[in-house]
Structure 1
């Protein structure tokens, strides 16, 4: 299949491209920066004035949208929040334009999403059928993102929303940031420590995308998390144990808000 990945230079995007290449698929990565194509990957410029990627793509079988400013980099200032939100809306809008301009529509759009669409709770269990949405920055962003991507249905394109949990990997995702205090011998419970961490290993996240591509009966939201979520306190203890670092300094919630920025 000819598979186009927007956000193919990110952590999950790189791993996904590698796996799909191994499986023999034709891979195209949409990029803002000029990159030299190889025998395995064709790079096509987009999101800059004068770019018309649809002219280079031809007939596409699958679109995968992973594009957007990372939520794991930088403080959540108002400026950064705007970048996170706008980058997702703009990229998705451009993919919809590409779909509209394509004589033969792709069979499926796999659109990244996040479990941040659900409200924070210590006892609720959320499934793909849950209707509750969080009324905070991340919840509103994910809700608007999915609503925009859903417009692909109007072109007869099967659309899947991959609601990723906390993605873990040594090279990227949330783990490097979460492990940093332990590496500095300053790791400990955040707040009360009862918060749930619904995590997923990056390879499982990548394989879930491939599963969604290959199964025509899958559409709408899909929660991509491990079946064994952990409380924050237990999660932190495991990080400390693996890194052979102590888990002892409690970190008050207000300190984390100062460090990470406002999330409302």
Structure 2
């Protein structure tokens, strides 16, 4: 039995990871700011970042740390929102590093969330983990700062993995419910130019890949958590329409998204073609390698 410590464990991705580890008879310790209790024998909540809590005193020997904590990027990116997105990630990672430094024996691995936003946007380039140049937009700068802070875990003896998430598709979280809503009302169509790349991944494969990076010591550094088969936004919409048996006919111009979401609209209107080279090189098998199969699982 292994013991996993998760920050941000109550969120969309955290829930999926927790379920996968507990199904393997591992124990999961979830850091939380409020008082929570679990009825699951393999899950325990531990308070942190709330007054004078000393989380390390409530923890046994930990085998892996998974850091997911941070302000959601959803919502209009005001100056205050941007500051919260950045500061929350850096503060939580700093606190988690402090906890780990106080442990008698450091965890074997530190797995940190990140995003393919690191690479910036492009319609022509294909990005793998070998890409060293990061983008210059807001999200790329946030991701770069977050990864730099997380890499400090390597100096305290942890094998450090940075999982760069693509667009995560799930039933109960992420952006899929918003993207499918127009189709359910027979008003779906191409968003923006339709030529922008969507590098996506099923939530089950996110959890499986993160667990794989713990189980397989061959993983370190950045790991792209994205399907090996990215699609254009036009293809994405057409496949949604096909799976839901709805027409794909009413375009959604870029200016509409920019008007509603402001700068955050770049997450949909721009994109990048990202391949999971490290996962493929390590023999990882995606359960949902193509979009149609993933959406059939999630939408039918």
TM-score normalised to structure 1 length: 0.95
Q: 2:60 aligns with which of 58, 62, 74?
A: 58
Residues 196-235 of structure 1 mapped to structure 2, 5 A cutoff: 196-235=197-236
Aligned to 1:42: 44
Structure 1 residue runs of 4+, over 4 Å off? none
* Residues 173-213 of structure 1: per-residue CA shift (max 9 Å, x gap): 22112112223333221221000000000000100000000
Q: Is the 8 A contact 2:25 2:42 kept in 1?
A: no
Q: Is the 8 A contact 1:78 1:262 kept in 2?
A: no
Q: Once structures 1 and 2 are overlaid, which stretch shifts more, 62-71 or 139-148?
A: 62-71
Unpaired runs of 5+ residues, structure 2, are 267-300
Determine helix, strand or coil for the equivalent of 2:50.
coil
CA 1:79–1:245: 2 relative to 1, 3 Å = farther
Q: How many residues align?
A: 263
CA 1:66–1:192: 2 relative to 1, 3 Å = same
Q: Report the Cα distance in structure 1 between the residues aligned to 2:134 and 2:86, rounded to whole angstroms.
A: 17
The alpha-carbon deviation at position 243 of structure 1 amounts to: 2.2
Q: Is the 8 A contact 1:189 1:233 kept in 2?
A: yes
Aligned to 1:9: 10
Q: Is the 8 A contact 2:189 2:248 kept in 1?
A: yes
The alpha-carbon deviation at position 52 of structure 1 amounts to: 1.1
Aligned to 2:280: none
Determine helix, strand or coil for the equivalent of 1:226.
coil
Residues 15-164 of structure 1 mapped to structure 2, 5 A cutoff: 15-38=16-39, 39-71=41-73, 73-164=74-165
The alpha-carbon deviation at position 80 of structure 1 amounts to: 2.3
The alpha-carbon deviation at position 261 of structure 1 amounts to: 2.2
The alpha-carbon deviation at position 259 of structure 1 amounts to: 1.6
Q: Report the Cα distance in structure 1 between the residues aligned to 2:81 and 2:244, rounded to whole angstroms.
A: 31
Q: Report the Cα distance in structure 2 between the residues aligned to 1:140 and 1:133, rounded to whole angstroms.
A: 8
Instruction: Supply the RMSD in Å over aligned alpha carbons.
Output: 1.4
Q: Report the Cα distance in structure 2 between the residues aligned to 1:67 and 1:156, rounded to whole angstroms.
A: 21
Q: Once structures 1 and 2 are overlaid, which stretch shifts more, 143-152 or 188-197?
A: 188-197
CA 1:215–1:31: 2 relative to 1, 3 Å = same
Q: Is the 8 A contact 2:26 2:42 kept in 1?
A: no
Unpaired runs of 5+ residues, structure 1, are none
* Residues 19-71 of structure 1: per-residue CA shift (max 9 Å, x gap): 11110111111111211133221100111121111111132111001111222
